[in-house]
Amino acid sequence: MSQQHILFSLDAGIARITLNRPDRLNSLNVDMHMELREAIARTRDGGARVLLLTGAGRGFCAGQDLADRNVSADAAPVDLGYTIETYYRPLILSLRALEMPVICAVNGVAAGAGASIALACDIVLAARSASFIQAFCRIGLMPDCGGTYFLPRLVGTARAMGLALLGDKLPAEQAADWGLIWKVVDDDKLATESQALARHLATQPTKGLALIKQALQQSAANTIAEQLAVEAELQRAAGKTADYREGVAAFMGKRPANFTGR
Ligand code: T3D
């Protein structure tokens, strides 16, 4: 696959995608979207048990590449709905649907769609110097890529409104304090900590983890009765996995489990 704008590797169950346009703070253009799409498909189909997403250079992702648009006064209006539908919506949905944990290691600023992409991941680690910016309002747009879905659910409506209407920089530590992300680590520890987390998750019961992810995603729209039904259905599936048998056998045998992801 082409790797002009991203780097992709798959090794020992760990798929790794690095957004790689550091001189543009890894902002997204169409080619990058297409490479990402292919990398996520290879992650899904290639036996990976965890995906680790990060950025090259000093930024994680500054959202849409604004130089990719002709918005001069005499140009025809750009149909942003088209680009959202064609590129961003499938990207967010594919990350959410991956049947494995997706770790995001936010190595620097995450702005606009870059922030939303991070929030679409399952476990977000950020470098202490990183930040999150709902930059959309600064250019007359509104949060997209699930921003209006993730923000109020993660930090509540008051903070979501403030972030989205003001576009202020939210430092990583405050993002963790507010519950927007999982954890902050020192800058020089981000690579090793995120890799260690990926290594750990790649040895865990992958199907069970995928079911946890699915259940928590579904809970956002469900009543307690509906969610109990979801839990029953998904637990039924978990109970049929080889890793469930192995987990119980290992517990009873007082030995470490050897999960295969099946
Ligand atoms: O269009 C659609 O399809 C709709 C979808 C929209 C989704 C969106 O994401 S809309 C939001 C787009 N993103 C932004 O508005 C953020 C723009 N960037 C910034 O505000 C700042 O760059 C940051 C706050 C993220 C970081 O600031 P700073 O001072 O650390 O870096 P910088 O100097 O601004 O940026 C470094 C370089 O990257 C610079 O290029 P240069 O001057 O060195 O040649 C800058 O122009 C470039 N860059 C940064 N962000 C983008 C970008 N180039 C193109 N597009 C960008 N988004």
Q: Is the CB of 115 under 6 A from ligand 1?
A: no
Assess whether pLDDT exceeds 90 at residue 120: yes
Who's near 66: CB < 8 A, 6+ residues apart? 27, 139
Using 50, 70 and 90 to split pLDDT, how confident is the model at 1?
A: confident
Q: What number is the average pLDDT over the span 120-129?
A: 98
pLDDT at 55: 98
Query: Please, which pLDDT band fits residue 20 given cuts at 50, 70 and 90?
Result: very high
For residue 145, the ligand 1 atom closest to its alpha carbon is: 7
Angle of helix 89-97 relative to helix 30-45, nearest 10 degrees? 20
- For ligand 1, the distance from its centroid to the CA atom of residue 22, given in whole angstroms, is 11
Check if 146 has its Cβ closer than 6 Å to any atom of ligand 1: no
pLDDT, mean over the chain: 97
Ligand 1 pocket, 26 CB below 6 A?
A: no
**Residue 14 contacts by C-beta under 8 Å, 6 or more apart in sequence?**
48, 49, 50, 51, 52, 195, 198, 199, 202
Q: Is the minimum distance from the CB of 17 to ligand 1 under 6 angstroms?
A: no
* Beta strand spans in the chain (E): 6-11, 14-19, 50-55, 59-61, 102-106, 109-111, 123-127, 131-133, 169-171, 183-185
- Say if residue 2's pLDDT is above 90: no
Q: How far, in Å, CA of 134 to CA of 130, rounded?
A: 14
Q: What is the DSSP string of 185-210?
A: E-GGGHHHHHHHHHHHHTTS-HHHHH
List, for residues 138-168, the tens digit of each pLDDT value.
999 999 999 999 999 999 999 999 999 999 9
Distance CA 169, CA 241 (A): 44
- The predicted pLDDT at position 73 comes to 87
Average pLDDT over residues 162-187: 98
What pTM value is reported for the model? Answer: 0.97
Distance CA 51, CA 42 (A): 11
At 184, is the secondary structure helix, strand, or coil?
strand
The answer to whether the CB of 107 falls within 8 A of the CB of 54 is yes
Report how far ligand 1's centroid is from the alpha carbon of 13 (Å). 33
Please indicate whether residue 109, judged by its CB atom, sits closer than 6 Å to ligand 1: yes
Distance 61 CA to ligand 1 centre (A): 9
- For residue 38, the CA-to-ligand 1 centroid distance in Å is 24
pLDDT in tens, 46-104: 999 999 999 999 999 999 999 998 888 889 988 999 999 999 999 999 999 999 999 99
pLDDT at residue 87, as a whole number: 98
Supply the residue whose CA is at minimum distance from atom 11 of ligand 1: 112
> Rounded to 5 degrees, what angle do the CA atoms 57, 49, 21 make?
20
